C-alpha cells in the first residue's frame, strides 16, 4: 500500500542558508528543524530531501562535497532518531534547462515512484515559492515556511503561488502535519 511522506527543501528549511553551502563544516541545522524532523520521524513519515544545488553547476562545490555535507547532516540528526530515505538534488546550472530543477516536480515524482509514496496524502515543506509550486505540480499538500511574521509570510509567498498551509518553521509545520493527520483519521474536513 502506498504511504504518505514528507518532502523537504534543504537550505533555509533544514539548515541555515548561507547562499551556497559549500562545506560540511559550514552546516548549521536550524533548531526548530531538528525538533520538527524528530516529530515527523516519530509520526512515521518517510522523509525525503529535494534540493536545488546549482552551486555544483556553477563550479562552487563538487558532488563529492555535497555528499559529505549530506553525510554530516545525517550524522547530526541521527541522535534525534531522524533519517532520510533519500536525498535528491539537482546539480545543474539554472541555464542548463534541465528537467529536474525545482519548480519542476520531477525529483518528487521520481522519489514517489521509487518508494511507493501516496502523493495526495504527502506534504512538501519549503521556504520559497518555487518549493510550493513544486509541491503543487507533484500533487502534494504544501506548507510554506516564512518566519514568525505573518506579513512576512505574505511577502515570501510573493502573491505568485499560494501555499495550502504556512508555518513559521519546521517545528510548527510538523505540529500542523500532526494535526492534519489526526483530522484525516477522524474523517473531519481539513
List active site positions. 9, 11
Nearest to 124 by CA among 104, 114, 139: 139
Q: Map grid coordinates 514568525 to a residue.
A: 148
- Taking residues 85 to 104 in sequence order and writing x for each that binds Zn ion by CB under 5 A, - otherwise, the string is -----x-x-----x-xx---
Q: Map grid coordinates 562535497 to a residue.
A: 65
Q: In the bound complex, which residue of the shown chain has the CB atom lying closest to Mg ion? A: 12
What is the Cα–Cα distance from 126 to 10, expressed in whole angstroms? 8
29 contact choice in Zn ion, Mg ion, none (CB below 5 to 8 Å, kind-dependent): none
Among residues 11 and 169, whose Cβ is nearest to Mg ion? 11
Type and span of the H or E element at 53: none
- What are the residues facing 52 on neighbouring strands? 90
24 contact choice in Mg ion, Zn ion, none (CB below 5 to 8 Å, kind-dependent): none
Q: List, in order, residues 6 or more apart from 56 with CB less than 8 Å away.
A: 62, 63, 66, 89, 91, 92
- Taking residues 35 to 74 in sequence order and writing x for each that binds Zn ion by CB under 5 A, - otherwise, the string is ----------------------------------------
100 contact choice in Mg ion, Zn ion, none (CB below 5 to 8 Å, kind-dependent): Zn ion
Smallest distance, Å, CB 104 to Zn ion? 8
98 contact choice in Zn ion, Mg ion, none (CB below 5 to 8 Å, kind-dependent): Zn ion
What is the Cα–Cα distance from 86 to 119, expressed in whole angstroms? 16
Smallest distance, Å, CB 33 to Zn ion? 24
CA-to-CA dists, residue 117 to 41, 134, 138, 180, angstroms:
16, 16, 12, 18
Q: Which residues bind Mg ion (CB under 5 A)?
A: 9, 11-12, 127
Smallest distance, Å, CB 31 to Zn ion? 30
What is the Cα–Cα distance from 32 to 172, expressed in whole angstroms? 8
Smallest distance, Å, CB 64 to Mg ion? 22
Nearest to 30 by CA among 156, 174, 181: 174
Binding interface with Zn ion (CB under 5 A): 90, 92, 98, 100-101
Amino acid at each position: 500500500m502506498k504511504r504518505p511522506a514528507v518532502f523537504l527543501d534543504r537550505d533555509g528549511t533544514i539548515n541555515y542558508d548561507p547562499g551556497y553551502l559549500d562545506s560540511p563544516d559550514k552546516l548549521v541545522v536550524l533548531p526548530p528543524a531538528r525538533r520538527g524532523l524528530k516529530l515527523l520521524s516519530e509520526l512515521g513519515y518517510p522523509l525525503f530531501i529535494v534540493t536545488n544545488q546549482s552551486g555544483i553547476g556553477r563550479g562552487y562545490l563538487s558532488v563529492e562535497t555535497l555528499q559529505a555535507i549530506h553525510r554530516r547532516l545525517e550524522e547530526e540528526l541521527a541522535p534525534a532518531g531522524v533519517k532520510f530515505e533519500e536525498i535528491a538534488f539537482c546539480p545543474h546550472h539554472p541555464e542548463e534547462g534541465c528537467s529536474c530543477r525545482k519548480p519542476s516536480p520531477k525529483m518528487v515524482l521520481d522519489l514517489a515512484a521509487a518508494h511507493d509514496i501516496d502523493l495526495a496524502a504527502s506534504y512538501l515543506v519549503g521556504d520559497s515559492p518555487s518549493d510550493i509550486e513544486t509541491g503543487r505540480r507533484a500533487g502534494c499538500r504544501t506548507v510554506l515556511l516564512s518566519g514568525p511574521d505573518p506579513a512576512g509570510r505574505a511577502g515570501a509567498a510573493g502573491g505568485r503561488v499560494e501555499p495550502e498551509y504556512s508555518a513559521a518553521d519546521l517545528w510548527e509545520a510538523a505540529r500542523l502535519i500532526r494535526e492534519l493527520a489526526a483530522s484525516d483519521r477522524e474523517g473531519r474536513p481539513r
